[in-house]
């Protein structure tokens, strides 16, 4: 049993965005209630009223609506030590909504379908023709079709509750292929002129959103990783390329054309001969080049894992180079953003990320910088993060919705 105070948050003040007790704000308040339950895992009506500052009657009406619609469900009552009715905690109903996440990762595509709680229902991967967007697009459609069919077998209600498709792929976006400094398969520059979003919407019948893969990986950290509940943070994403997700006041900052955080295109630190781009030095692409590996190999990530575990001289040389450049980027990040947390995650083996973090322990330019933490080491994280965007768009509160003209 819990002492008086929030019944289901361990005595801590629950985290929640404030509601609006004004006429016409019901849609916003529904999102506020759903978001509070998501962030705090389980909350009673009394918890929700205290956290959101909504009236008890408003909370009661919204909770009843959401429960009837199958968006939330009641759990067993929780007894109190103080007099009063037992508290009934509410949690998100997993089958309340579903979304698809698609990660286009140069030579491979990965698709996941997640439920309202963010749990993966089905996931599949397929080879991708990155050189020819028209042929590659057919690969994507085949993958999405197969994934939806498998998920529908497990969750018959899925198609009726599917809220959208989130796509993650390497940036930058909105560039001219002819002027791109990385106009090759590595940057997927040939896809820049391909109408990916509109074609996917037409073929799937879903609302489609697009993010760069680092931003999508950051969303995965916000849902199920180190950044859950963190308001201001930077998430460095290391995969075949290098990027960063920037979280400001609990929301992902996108920037112009969705290109915020494209740190891989920053030149190496002064003193590095010819100053190549960071993504040519501190990425799996750089490691594979030095070891003469084929990134198109279906077992590429398995091979990288084995190399990290063996820790040979070529790998150690790459570690020295990558840690030097990422350490410089880390110091700049701390001084510019002063975030609560900095996370290093990636489509890379856990052993590799741990090796990098070990070398980054030395103090940087900012003496009080937060210690960089290891996040998710998972090739599926960008797809999972991409899937969270349609659910967030449909159910997360945004104050701007209150001021639409």
Q: Which range is least confidently modeled, 75-84, 113-122, 173-182?
A: 173-182
Q: Is 162 found in the same domain as 43?
A: no
Q: Is 344 found in the same domain as 290?
A: yes
Encoded tokens for 113: 């379908």
Q: SS3 for 326-365, per residue?
A: HHHHHHHHHHHHCCCEEEEEECCCHHHHHHHHHHCCCCCC
Q: Is 101 found in the same domain as 88?
A: no
23 vs 58, higher pLDDT: 58
Burial of 260 (0-12, 13-18, 19+ CB in 10 A): buried
321 vs 368, higher pLDDT: 321
**What pLDDT is attached to residue 357?**
93
pLDDT in tens, 386-398: 999 999 888 877 6
339 vs 296, higher pLDDT: 339
Q: Is 270 found in the same domain as 194?
A: no
- Mean pLDDT over 73-86 rounds to 72
Pick the last residue of a domain from 58, 92, 126.
92
7 vs 197, higher pLDDT: 197
d(CA 269, CA 241) in angstroms, rounded, equals 17
Instruction: Give every CB contact of residue 128 below 8 A, 6+ residues apart in sequence.
Output: 104, 105, 106, 107, 108, 109, 136, 139, 140
Q: Is 245 helix (H, G, I), strand (E, B) or coil?
A: strand
- List the CATH number of the domain containing 267: 3.30.420.40
Q: Which among 123, 108, 120, 127 is positioned nearest to 170, based on CA atoms?
A: 108
- Mean pLDDT over 369-386 rounds to 87
Please report whether residue 404 resides in a domain: no
Q: Is 271 found in the same domain as 330?
A: yes
d(CA 233, CA 218) in angstroms, rounded, equals 10
Q: Are 395 and 97 in contact (CB under 8 A)?
A: yes
> Where does the pLDDT of residue 26 fall: very low under 50, low under 70, confident under 90, or very high at 90 and above?
confident
**What pLDDT is attached to residue 38?**
85
Q: How far is CA 146 from CA 90, 140, 169, in A?
A: 34, 10, 20
- Kindly give the residue spans of alpha helices, DSSP state H, lying in 160-252: 196-204, 213-224
Share of the chain above pLDDT 70, in %: 84
Please report whether residue 405 resides in a domain: no
Strand partners, 251: 248
Encoded tokens for 39: 């962030």
Pick the last residue of a domain from 92, 113, 134.
92
Please report whether residue 221 resides in a domain: no
Q: What is the mean pLDDT of the chain?
A: 85
**What pLDDT is attached to residue 173?**
86
Q: How far is CA 233 from CA 150, 218, 244, 248, 278, in A?
A: 36, 10, 10, 7, 21
- Mean pLDDT over 240-264 rounds to 92
80 has pLDDT over 80: no
- List the CATH number of the domain containing 32: 1.10.10.10
Please report whether residue 222 resides in a domain: no
Q: Is 140 found in the same domain as 27?
A: no
Q: Is 185 found in the same domain as 208?
A: yes
Q: How far is CA 186 from CA 121, 137, 284, 297, in A?
A: 30, 17, 11, 14
d(CA 105, CA 240) in angstroms, rounded, equals 8
**What pLDDT is attached to residue 272?**
65
148 has pLDDT over 90: yes
pLDDT in tens, 191-245: 888 999 999 999 999 999 999 999 999 999 998 889 987 889 999 999 999 999 9
d(CA 233, CA 214) in angstroms, rounded, equals 13
247 has pLDDT over 70: yes
**What is the reported pTM?**
0.85
- Mean pLDDT over 178-185 rounds to 49
287 vs 131, higher pLDDT: 287
**What pLDDT is attached to residue 372?**
85
Q: Is 82 found in the same domain as 114?
A: no
Residue 182: give the domain boundaries.
97-216+384-395
d(CA 350, CA 365) in angstroms, rounded, equals 27
Q: Is 236 found in the same domain as 205?
A: no
Please report whether residue 282 resides in a domain: yes
Please report whether residue 35 resides in a domain: yes
Strand partners, 113: 100, 122
- Mean pLDDT over 162-180 rounds to 80
How many domains does the chain fold into? 3
302 phi and psi angles, rounded to 5 deg: -65, -40
403 has pLDDT over 50: no
Q: Is 243 found in the same domain as 212?
A: no
Q: How far is CA 118 from CA 7, 32, 223, in A?
A: 24, 17, 7
Please report whether residue 48 resides in a domain: yes
**What pLDDT is attached to residue 13?**
59
Encoded tokens for 74: 């009641």
Instruction: Give every CB contact of residue 381 below 8 A, 6+ residues apart in sequence.
Output: 216, 217, 220, 221, 225, 345, 347
d(CA 251, CA 93) in angstroms, rounded, equals 23
> Where does the pLDDT of residue 179 fall: very low under 50, low under 70, confident under 90, or very high at 90 and above?
very low
Q: Is 389 found in the same domain as 298?
A: no
17 has pLDDT over 70: no
Please report whether residue 403 resides in a domain: no
Encoded tokens for 105: 């990762």
Encoded tokens for 219: 């969303």
Q: Is 58 found in the same domain as 124?
A: no
> Where does the pLDDT of residue 298 fall: very low under 50, low under 70, confident under 90, or very high at 90 and above?
confident
d(CA 173, CA 152) in angstroms, rounded, equals 33
Pick the last residue of a domain from 28, 60, 92.
92
- Mean pLDDT over 143-170 rounds to 96
**What pLDDT is attached to residue 19?**
55
């Amino acid at each position: 049993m819990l002492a008086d105070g929030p019944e289901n948050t361990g005595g801590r003040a629950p985290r929640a965005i404030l509601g609006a007790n004004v006429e016409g704000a019901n849609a916003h308040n529904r999102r506020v209630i759903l978001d509070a339950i998501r962030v705090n895992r389980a909350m009673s009506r009394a918890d929700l009223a205290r956290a959101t500052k909504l009236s008890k009657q408003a909370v009661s009406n919204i909770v009843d609506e959401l429960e009837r619609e199958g968006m939330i469900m009641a759990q067993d009552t929780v007894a109190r030590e103080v007099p009063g009715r037992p508290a009934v905690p509410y949690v998100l109903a997993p089958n309340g909504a579903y979304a698809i996440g698609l990660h286009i990762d140069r030579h491979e595509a990965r698709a996941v379908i997640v439920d309202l709680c963010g749990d993966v229902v089905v996931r599949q991967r397929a080879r991708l023709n990155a050189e020819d967007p028209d042929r590659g697009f057919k690969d994507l459609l085949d993958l999405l079709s197969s994934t939806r069919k498998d998920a529908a077998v497990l969750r018959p209600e899925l198609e009726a509750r599917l809220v959208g498709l989130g796509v993650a792929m390497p940036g930058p976006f909105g560039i001219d292929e002819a002027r791109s400094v990385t106009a090759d398969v590595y940057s997927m520059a040939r896809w820049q002129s391909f109408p990916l979003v509109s074609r996917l919407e037409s073929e799937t019948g879903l609302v489609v959103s697009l993010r760069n893969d680092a931003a999508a990986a950051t969303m995965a950290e916000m849902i199920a990783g180190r950044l859950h509940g963190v308001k201001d943070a930077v998430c460095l994403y290391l995969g075949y390329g290098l990027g960063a997700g920037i979280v400001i006041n609990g929301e992902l900052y996108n920037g112009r054309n969705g290109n915020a955080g494209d740190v891989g295109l920053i030149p190496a630190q002064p003193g590095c001969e010819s100053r190549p781009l960071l993504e040519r030095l501190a990425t799996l692409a750089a490691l594979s080049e030095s070891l003469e590996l084929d990134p198109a190999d279906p077992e590429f990530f398995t091979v990288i894992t084995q190399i990290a575990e063996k820790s040979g001289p070529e790998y150690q040389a790459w570690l020295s180079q990558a840690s030097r450049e990422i350490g410089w980027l880390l110091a700049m990040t701390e001084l510019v953003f002063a975030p609560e947390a900095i996370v290093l995650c990636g489509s890379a083996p856990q052993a590799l990320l741990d090796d990098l973090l070990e070398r980054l322990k030395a103090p940087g330019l900012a003496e009080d910088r937060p210690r960089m933490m290891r996040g998710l080491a998972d090739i599926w994280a960008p797809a999972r993060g991409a899937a969270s965007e349609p659910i967030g768009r449909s159910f997360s509160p945004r104050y701007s919705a209150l001021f639409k003209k």
